[in-house]
Amino acid sequence: MNIILITGGPSAEREVSIASSKSIVKALRDLGHDVKVVDPINGDEMVSEEEIFKTGVKKESPSLELLDEIHESSNKKILDCINSEIFDNTDLAFLGVHGKFGEDGKLQTILELRGIKYTGSNVFSSALAMDKDISKIILTSAGIKTPDWIILNRNSSKLDLSAISESILNSIGYPCVVKPNDEGSTVGLSIVQPDVEDVQLGKSIELAFSYSDKVLVEKFIKGRELTVPVIGDEAYPIVEIRPKGGFYDYEHKYTKGMTEYFCPADIPQEIEKKAKEDALLAHRILGCSVYSRIDFILDEKNELHCLEVNTLPGMTETSLVPKSAAAKGMSFNQLIERLIELSLQKF
């Protein structure tokens, strides 16, 4: 097949996207597909694969200055790219992008308007899952436990720090997690501790607002981090994530040796069953298709709390979906071929 691998993009996760795509392109070619690698922020100019892939994942997420520079010129260039001859005679677009634009339904919308098939979930389910506030409301309505939260809007007249702190104390308490409502890879995320909230809270909210107009303040749940990939309509082996010091932040996610992974996770059978049931329900109720990854915290009372649903989970060498697939006896190449098969069935 003629496949275009879309990578990079204008989000804070563009470096992770490029790292994922390095693994994906090799698998696609090993499987016999004719592949072009495209970063849509380059517009209708066909930039060489070597130039696109020269970027590596750094220990910190991209600077806001770099993202602002990319955003200033990206929208028209992205439209020019998808509408150009580059995408002529394309059988499938494999989405190697993550974060805003790639994972929130915008890219899916443009591809559908151009009549190009693509991997992963559709426009609506991508948008739902990317909006943490809306997805948590839907998950809660389905009986899936998720940490209590409050929402802050940039344009609200109630963005008074003392009032926000009082609201946190009265509803979710400290410590709490402050994060952008529509980012991934822990970009812009902070944990505010009770002994220093006066210092940390304002800075954490400011950081989160630098990435989004809507900020989620969530109850911090202490416990074990678990994730459940769903491929097709099947929950795959659960992965436990154990960061070495600190929490599972951007640096721990994308730096070799800073996190340990255990798959299948060593958890009681009834918890495994419950996690897989909740993951499948979350996947279905948000309308996801092809694949997703659902993240949980297992607290000290052995209760599961769903954190979020990822519709385009990472595919780097340290990523979680490939680890889970391997535990099921599926090679990386087989995983990629399965995602292609499922995506084509969707259209």
Per-residue pLDDT of the chain (347 residues; tens, 9 = 90+): 999 999 999 888 888 899 889 999 999 999 999 999 999 999 999 999 999 998 655 545 555 555 555 555 578 899 999 999 999 999 999 999 998 889 999 999 999 999 999 999 999 999 999 999 999 999 999 999 999 999 999 876 567 888 899 999 999 999 999 999 988 657 889 999 987 767 789 999 999 998 899 999 999 999 999 999 999 999 999 999 998 766 554 454 555 566 899 999 999 999 999 999 999 999 999 999 999 999 999 999 999 999 999 999 988 767 899 999 999 999 999 999 999 999 999 98
**Rounded-to-integer distance, Cα 236 and Cα 345, Å:** 20
Active-site residue (options: 131, 197, 225, 295): 295
Residue 186 confidence (pLDDT) = 72
Domains of the chain: 2-118 (3.40.50.20), 129-145+222-345 (3.30.470.20), 149-219 (3.30.1490.20)
Residue 54 confidence (pLDDT) = 83
Active-site residue (options: 49, 103, 183, 308): 308
308 carries an active-site annotation? yes
Active-site residue (options: 20, 211, 293, 337): 293
Residue 185 confidence (pLDDT) = 59
Q: Are 298 and 276 in contact (CB under 8 A)?
A: no
DSSP 224: E
Residue 72 confidence (pLDDT) = 59
Active-site residue (options: 9, 254, 278, 337): 254
> pLDDT tens digit string along 223-269?
999 999 999 999 999 999 998 766 554 454 555 566 899 999 999 99
Residue 236 confidence (pLDDT) = 98
254 carries an active-site annotation? yes
218 carries an active-site annotation? no
Active-site residue (options: 61, 121, 126, 310): 310
Active-site residue (options: 13, 49, 103, 104): 13
91 carries an active-site annotation? no
185 carries an active-site annotation? yes
> pLDDT tens digit string along 62-113?
555 555 555 555 788 999 999 999 999 999 999 999 988 899 999 999 999 9
Residue 151 confidence (pLDDT) = 95
Alpha helices for the chain (secondary structure H): 14-30, 49-53, 64-82, 106-114, 123-130, 132-141, 161-171, 197-209, 250-254, 269-285, 320-327, 332-345
115 carries an active-site annotation? no
Residue 77 phi, psi (nearest 5): -65, -40
Q: Give CA angle at 62 (160, 155), nearest 5°.
A: 25
Task: Give pTM, 2 decimals.
Answer: 0.90
Active-site residue (options: 74, 212, 314, 319): 314
Residue 99 confidence (pLDDT) = 87
Q: Are 185 and 253 in contact (CB under 8 A)?
A: yes
**Rounded-to-integer distance, Cα 311 and Cα 188, Å:** 19
By C-alpha distance, which of 68, 73, 62, 65 is closest to 40? 73
Active-site residue (options: 185, 212, 319, 324): 185
